[in-house]
Structure 1
Amino acid sequence: MASQPDNAASPIADFKPTVFFGAIAAIGALIAFALYDTTVAAARFQAIQDWATHSFGWLLVGTVNVLLIACAYFAFSRLGNVRLGGRDAKPAYGALSWFAMLFSAGMGIGLLFYGVAEPVMHFANPPISAFSNPGATLPQGLARNAQHAMGLTFLHWGLHAWAIYAIIGLGLGYISYNKGLTLSIGAFLRAAYPRIPTLLVDAIDVLAITATVCGVAASLGFGASQINAGLTLLAGVPDSGMVKAIIIVVVTGLATLSVAFGLDVGIKRLSEGNMVLALALALFVFVTGPTVYLLDSFIQNIGYYVQRFVYFSTWTESYTKEDWQSAWTLFYYAWWISWSPFVGIFIARISYGRTVREFIAGTLLVPSLFTFAWMTIFGDSALHIELFGAGGLSQAVNASMPDALFAFLHHFPFSTIASGLAILIVATFFVTSADSGALVTAMIASGGQQEARFVPRVTWAIAIGILAGALLYAGGLGALQTAAIVTGLPFALVLLAICLGLTRMLKAEAAEAEQHGAAS
């Protein structure tokens, strides 16, 4: 591994009491609210989500589009030549290890949870306002529904999601490796906006920690629900809150062990391992499923996504006032934003030596294409069962989204083995999400030092597990969605500030490099 600057390897983390205790207080209050009266909490969570998405959906849609445009500008302009760490810096990790860690942290559990469920849900329950499709029950109407379902899935998991991660990761990596500052949102804001009050910076760090914990907790809740569904199918384990709590405790314990080993041993090796397992499952479905149909569908899905890109990207249900987007598109955008402090810091941590252009390509294009391939393999295989096979998946998914993957695998040979592998993959993604989240949260709370101590890392791993369990107990998947939306929404403003500040700093560095080249 290539060497990194001294500030990237500092063994001592600075304790920031205002940030640490402020975040603990916010998360503790959320846990207490969730557990005090679960009936009231569930209703309040839903009311808060409705208010946030109806009042500020435009902000989420606008933010992700601005960030994606900024990514394109950075990649195709002279700013793309700027290198994280300076002109002579070499990448700290090889391309495969870099991509495996990035992808495992950024999308893992969600792909397993939604890979089958989302396309089938959109196929069975399409949003009326998104497109006009008379005769939806006729064969040609069903085909259009299937195509539109994949287009919406690509919208939610494609370029917009990764643009969020790319901007914050690039900004933090730049100020750390090129300016010698700590790898933190607070350090970036002070560098970009020198007159910003310290109290506001600390408040933003508290928001970043809270958003990270809520975003990762949402993923862990989805993972626990899916593991429980798989164990119910394979071993008759009851599907209950107690079982989910036990799953969260066990996997959080494994995540704590992983984070104790650190980035290069625990997280790196787990990330590489679960990517291998995930690819094995995808290859199994691809080979034993409708292979030629999937190849055709992948090409057509990409074309449909490109053709409808501008419309999908700016669609807000303005003229129909439906609620479909609040449960899907707006939830996803807020979820990705709530994950962005965690994923952004994590990918900055592993991206030393990359040029801006390489960074954008690695964190935007490659993961998006992989995600599109994954969603095509699982989503279109499920739709093939609905359109040309035995059917029944729509009913199964509408009844229980966590059961969707296992109901789907039941249509394949060796379904028991495949389902067992799926449970293992969800569990390993669960661990990598939790340990990466704990590592990054400890970094934020310690002022951005990259080697936070063992106790803070363990503390945050446990906090994430407790919050995931509390939210599942209080309001199920809906409470997890609300937590992600409520914390992701205000952080959208922080992302816009980071985008503006990063643009200014990259322009200054590119101009300085050109002057240096002309002088030499």
Structure 2
Amino acid sequence: MAQTQTDSPPRSHKLGDPVVLVLTIGFVLAFVLLSLYDIELVADSISSGFAWTALTLGSYFQLLLILTFFIAIGLAMTPAAKARIGNLDAPEMSTFKWLSIILCTLLAGGGVFFAAGEPVYHFVVTPPAFDTEAGTAEAVAGALAQSFMHWGFLAWAVLGSLSAVVLAHAHYVKGEPLQPRTLLYPVFGKRLMRGPLGGVVDACCVIAVVAGTVGPIGFLATQMSYGLHELFGLPEGYPTQLGILVVLGAVYVGSAVSGVHRGIQLLSRFNVFLALAIALVIVVFGPTLFLVNSYLQSTGTYLSQFFTMASMTAETAPAWWMQWWTVFFFAWFIGYAPLMAIFVARISRGRTIRQMILAVAVIAPIATTIWFTLLGGSGIYYQLTGTIDLTEALNNFQFDVATLTVAQALPGGTWMAFAILLLTSIFVATTGDSMSYSIAVVGAGHDAPSSLIRAFWGITMALMAAILLYMGAGQIGVLQQFIVLTAIPVSLILLPSLWKGPQAAYAMAREQGIID
């Protein structure tokens, strides 16, 4: 009889794996204390490691994402993809709820923050894959296409396709825990699962997610503080940022504690409805024809120039550009991937492998490109027509300024800007709650981690953001760079999924009598 999820975890696991707790809490304390001791030493050290990693391993990260996407799509087209996850005949949740959670969990990690500013940046600074003149009508398609490359098929596929299949088979069929170490179970077997090395593997993945989640939480506080000051005259500064962190932390901690089927699901559904309402206003009252034409042209450019953009390296493009754009984003997604895969496997019980892969690697990226076109495409339109000028702000990487400026230029002005700030806040909250839940699952090794541990991780990430903001917003950026370093060990954990994912899918299909 196949194993199913555990509803009543053993008491010995409720506080989590001690190796994972010691290493991850040790990292948080070490980063904060070292920053307090010598902030420049920490920043310079991570910056040097970031630059070396991007230059030396950038091509490897790109190749990992490319292979993951194409192998996953190939797997989805096979008969084995009819196998159902979790040995259920019907899905645990409706398709709309399921897709809402998937979309909100990743897009919040930065997609909303960059959706307005990144396309405009590529419009005023031509990406190396194109030779159009910056700031002209001919540059529109390339600018959006480059954004699609960073947030499209490759980014999503690594987060929950092949790795989620490996986890689903190992957990629901073999009875292994929902932990990153389980991705290596088909290679190393029980020795890794039961030994301290497994704790080290889990800790690497948790540290990557903490670094990747604290960043958006901190950036949101600065963005909201700036936005509330510009829109309503509220004082801008650390007290306001701290107040925002308290409210945000309370929301996503409460959501994480209530679980997947309550708070996480409700937040995600609300955010999807709010995003749809904002999109409808932009489509009806915004530069509709420009956006439709731009989307069609940019999608064509994205597909025709796909391999050119995906395979560009520091040898064929400026090293600084690759470091701060393609490699940074791809490493960020790699760092998130194991815990996102755990989350996707957890919420996809009853779905077929084909449904899960297509939802994560096709439907979600298409929705993301539409969202980037609505916000970023509108920003390009207003930049092109002279309504706004974001050249200086974006050259200084001030994406909070870009988001608010574009939002204020949209139909509705101040109220649209407030709605987008609210949307961004809840998107970040959905990342906070889902990652707090996933980290707790990793520590416990089962699907029902202690509410205390869920709350602990949510509070820890908010507190870390508050401390780093007190030192200066730049230290949040330093922590974001650190996720590129964590992508090195995490990528090695993901690597076996390239061949173990298809093997797991065929094993599930045979066990369910779908194929001989």
Normalised by the size of structure 2, how large is the TM-score?
A: 0.92
Corresponding residue pairs, total:
506
Fraction of identical pairs, as percent: 28
Which residue in the other structure is 2:77 paired with? 76
The CA RMSD measured in Å over matched residues stands at 2.2
Alpha-carbon distance in structure 2 between the residues aligned to 1:191 and 1:377: 43
Is 1:385 the counterpart of 2:386 in the alignment? no
Match 2:456 to one of 456, 459, 476: 459
Residue 333 of structure 1 deviates from its aligned partner by 0.7
Structure 1: 5+ residue runs without aligned partners? none
Alpha-carbon distance in structure 1 between the residues aligned to 2:268 and 2:322: 32
Change over 3 Å in CA distance of 1:213–1:93 after alignment to 2: same
SS, match of residue 256 in structure 1: helix
SS, match of residue 47 in structure 2: helix
Give deviations 1:405-435, integer Å, cap 9, x for gaps.
2111222342111122122212212222111
Alpha-carbon distance in structure 1 between the residues aligned to 2:51 and 2:239: 29
Give deviations 1:106-159, integer Å, cap 9, x for gaps.
1125232111100111111224x42334xx26xxx7223222111110000000
User: 8 Å contact 1:208–1:491 — kept in the other structure?
Assistant: yes
Which residue in the other structure is 2:57 paired with? 56
Which residue in the other structure is 2:154 paired with? 160
Moved more, 144-153 or 316-325: 316-325
Moved more, 409-418 or 372-381: 409-418
Change over 3 Å in CA distance of 1:262–1:513 after alignment to 2: closer
Residues 9-408 of structure 1: pairs in structure 2 closer than 5 A: 9-12=7-10, 14=13, 15-86=16-87, 89-127=89-127, 129-133=128-132, 136=133, 142-166=136-160, 167-194=162-189, 196-197=191-192, 198-399=195-396, 400-408=398-406
Which residue in the other structure is 1:441 paired with? 439
Give deviations 1:484-508, integer Å, cap 9, x for gaps.
2122232111111233322333334
SS, match of residue 7 in structure 1: coil
User: 8 Å contact 1:214–1:467 — kept in the other structure?
Assistant: no
User: 8 Å contact 1:396–1:407 — kept in the other structure?
Assistant: no
Alpha-carbon distance in structure 2 between the residues aligned to 1:27 and 1:10: 30
Residue 92 of structure 1 deviates from its aligned partner by 0.8
Give deviations 1:40-75, integer Å, cap 9, x for gaps.
333333222212211211221111112112211211
Which residue in the other structure is 2:480 paired with? 481
SS, match of residue 409 in structure 2: coil
Change over 3 Å in CA distance of 1:320–1:264 after alignment to 2: closer
User: 8 Å contact 1:10–1:449 — kept in the other structure?
Assistant: no
SS, match of residue 101 in structure 1: helix
Give deviations 1:6-52, integer Å, cap 9, x for gaps.
43423446132112212211222122223322233333332222122
Change over 3 Å in CA distance of 1:261–1:272 after alignment to 2: same
Structure 2: 5+ residue runs without aligned partners? none
User: 8 Å contact 1:119–1:153 — kept in the other structure?
Assistant: yes
Task: State the one-letter code of the partner of 1:80.
Answer: A
Change over 3 Å in CA distance of 1:330–1:470 after alignment to 2: farther
Change over 3 Å in CA distance of 1:177–1:6 after alignment to 2: closer
Task: State the one-letter code of the partner of 2:189.
Answer: P
Alpha-carbon distance in structure 1 between the residues aligned to 2:280 and 2:394: 23
